[in-house]
Amino acid sequence: MILWTSLQGDSHVMCGRFVQHSDAELYAEIFELGRVCAASARYNAAPSQDILAVRQAFAGVRELIPLRWGLVPAWSKGPDTRYSMINARAETVADKPAYRHAFRQRRCLIPSEGFYEWRVTPTGKQPCLIRRADAAPFAMAGLWETWQTGGTPLQTCTIIVTDANALIAPVHDRMPVIIQPNDYGAWLDPHHGDQADLTALLRPADPTGWVLYAVSQRVNSPSNEGPDLIRPDPQSRGQPA
């Protein structure tokens, strides 16, 4: 489990903030969705907030839905504010009790246009954005669960993380698993149960075609929002990204 209090560049937090700003129509086109919910631009999505996810629903139809970020297993006593299971490690996700049932049948994709990590510098922790060079959306591997004990069901999710690639390794040792478009179908299909095939998808992304650069310190507070957060930080020019 991951301590909720550790969000700003802490080594225990692997993917603790990300961007999700495209409209529902673009996500519908990219992920071949049959149903979509409303989508609002998010430039600093944080744990415990609702984020958008793609999952396979009835009759193979893919849907875009809001899920609370921080997995609550169906068998648990319920949400525990002391912990936030925002990330699941690729090496153990198929076997750990908190994740293994979701890994078998409740996999999802988390659309994103970029995610943040923090570089340690002599003057403090510098937030950096990692995104595709063409700024196009991509899909992070996720799992979802439904928890309920009377009342309205709580639907939650987690993002799977793996070893960092060569681009991200100087900043952090972990990164989200990026699922490639050709693998969307296999990942989302709840009837696809080949564990070896699924775990083979949980590898670091090829760094080719990706960029990493320093952004504003305003990212440090999840209360800050807006497109200015993903722009290069002019104060960091001349410093290594």
State yes or no: is 25 an active-site residue: no
Q: Supply the DSSP symbol for 3.
A: B
Kindly report the length of the chain: 241
Residue among 29, 25, 54, 49 at smallest CA distance from 39: 25
What's the token pair of residue 88? 């699941």
Virtual torsion, Cα 130, 131, 132, 136, nearest 10 deg: 170
User: Does residue 130 contact residue 114 with C-beta atoms inside 8 Å?
Assistant: yes
Catalytic one of 63, 108, 113, 117: 117
d(CA 156, CA 102) in angstroms, rounded, equals 11
State yes or no: is 145 an active-site residue: no
What's the token pair of residue 76? 């648990």
User: Catalytic site residues?
Assistant: 15, 117
